[in-house]
Structure 1
């Protein structure tokens, strides 16, 4: 492991600050600074960006982001034990690292960030998907972020980039691909982490689109996909029958066979169905 800055190796930092990973916080530390720098590079050119990092732990990715030239990093860390180690990084990069001790699900980071903003994080396993969904479903679009570079369990990463007809295809794929370009850019084995998780991990890079790929009301699209994939083995005429009395007609108008199943239907067709359902409900009220 080659040094990327003048700070000590992460194993030494963890030992000095007694930062043993806590399972209840979803912690698995990535100690190879070559790998953390490589993940930081997947986020692109950060020299003119503020970066939001969730769950920095001992600061391996934090150091990678700063070494790669991030204008400013805001790190949100729930575990107070990590604060002294992060303070050492802040001292080594004066004025470029701010740390908030808090829960990422409760903290509003935007008052501490200046656009353009990227998000880069080795997300704690227990909150990763919830945070991603929040970032993909803001009230207004485009979102506050330009890109997301996020580590997940490999199974979750595959769900984000999945295509119709695959076992992994579902609501998460539709949500991500409706408003962003998503690709897996790295995979990591369990032994890259301390402690080693039971699963492989993967880094997903998502770039926000200026507007969704296809027009649809977000709330209606969400209801349609929830109903479809909550009963993914059923034909759509059955799983969606509670949405409208004329669901068979709406499905056909959207180019979907009523006997099809959710995992067979591409994003464009789901958006067409959401638009048809919105129009039908408006006509019913009118």
Structure 2
């Protein structure tokens, strides 16, 4: 059996299998093994840890996770063209790699990772076109705290900034509220376009998200409803943007201690949680 560190360079693997990243699948292959090891270390230490990876492509990050000592990696890949390349990694992994063909959005990831003893984490260079839906699905995991103890994910820099944004930041919006409500999130480092094949037109960011106990309890769906209304018309004062949800938005805002002239981008997570509780009570 070929050892992981004896596998051919990723460029050779891509050439051997005729792989080419496709825009339709949001693919950009990460070829620098030093960089993939850096991403894996951001998710570590990995001894005894079971990893869920989405969109492994030819397996660059997959290799790194295994080399860094992950107990197992479960990789979901939609592109059938990549399966032979991933099979090579699986053969060198001593049974630690499981490759599942399919659309990651169609799987119950908690169920997929059930039965593995030890911490579970998500680490992925996410396909750009499904990155945000996947993240919101993971943030919406019930019950909470989640089945995973950490996520280390790569996004376009613009999305990464939205994830970690705070009230008053230009990038602060629905995603920042949901992320901040359920996790401690930070950008670990940026990745330049030339690290990928083909190079994207934007800088990418590796983001670490660690689940936390919810400090401001409210119903998830109510929070989504309130933030959708508030940020859907973010330049309007909340007394206007919340009219579809409340018969008397001014009274609700007074009750939760938010100025009626406030706009969505100035309201913190505690304020949105209070509005979500009010929305659920009035529904």
TM class, shorter-length: over 0.9
1:46 aligns to 2:49 (yes or no): no
Q: Are the equivalent residues in 1 in contact too, given 2:4–2:89 (CA < 8 A)?
A: no
Q: Report the counterpart of residue 263 of structure 2 in structure 1.
A: 261
Larger deviation, residues 266-275 vs 12-21: 266-275
RMSD (Å) for aligned C-alpha atoms: 1.5
Aligned positions of 1:149-188 closer than 5 A: 149-188=152-191
Q: Are the equivalent residues in 1 in contact too, given 2:189–2:205 (CA < 8 A)?
A: yes
SS of the residue corresponding to residue 234 of structure 2 reads coil
1:97 aligns to 2:97 (yes or no): yes
Q: Are the equivalent residues in 1 in contact too, given 2:56–2:124 (CA < 8 A)?
A: yes
1:271 aligns to 2:273 (yes or no): yes
Return the match for 1:244 from 246, 267, 270: 246
Q: Report the counterpart of residue 79 of structure 1 in structure 2.
A: 79
SS of the residue corresponding to residue 105 of structure 2 reads coil
Show structure 1 runs of 4+ deviating over 6 A.
Answer: none
Q: How far 1:111 sits from its partner (Å)?
A: 4.1
Q: How far 1:139 sits from its partner (Å)?
A: 3.2
Q: How far 1:178 sits from its partner (Å)?
A: 0.2
SS of the residue corresponding to residue 75 of structure 1 reads strand
Q: How far 1:14 sits from its partner (Å)?
A: 0.6
Q: How far 1:48 sits from its partner (Å)?
A: 1.5
C-alpha distance 187-4 of structure 1, shift in aligned 2 (>3 A): farther
Once residues 75 and 248 of structure 1 are traced to their aligned partners in structure 2, the CA distance between those partners, rounded to angstroms, is 49
Aligned positions of 1:1-286 closer than 5 A: 5-113=5-113, 114=116, 115-209=118-212, 211-279=213-281, 281=282
SS of the residue corresponding to residue 197 of structure 1 reads coil
Q: How far 1:143 sits from its partner (Å)?
A: 1.7
Unaligned runs of 5+ in 2: none
Q: Are the equivalent residues in 2 in contact too, given 1:37–1:65 (CA < 8 A)?
A: yes
Larger deviation, residues 266-275 vs 104-113: 104-113
Larger deviation, residues 13-22 vs 102-111: 102-111
After TM superposition, the score normalised by the length of structure 1 is 0.93
C-alpha distance 232-35 of structure 1, shift in aligned 2 (>3 A): same
Once residues 247 and 224 of structure 2 are traced to their aligned partners in structure 1, the CA distance between those partners, rounded to angstroms, is 19
Once residues 174 and 181 of structure 2 are traced to their aligned partners in structure 1, the CA distance between those partners, rounded to angstroms, is 10
Once residues 224 and 258 of structure 2 are traced to their aligned partners in structure 1, the CA distance between those partners, rounded to angstroms, is 17
Larger deviation, residues 106-115 vs 10-19: 106-115
Once residues 111 and 223 of structure 1 are traced to their aligned partners in structure 2, the CA distance between those partners, rounded to angstroms, is 27
Q: How far 1:8 sits from its partner (Å)?
A: 1.1
Unaligned runs of 5+ in 1: none
Larger deviation, residues 243-252 vs 14-23: 243-252
C-alpha distance 238-111 of structure 1, shift in aligned 2 (>3 A): closer
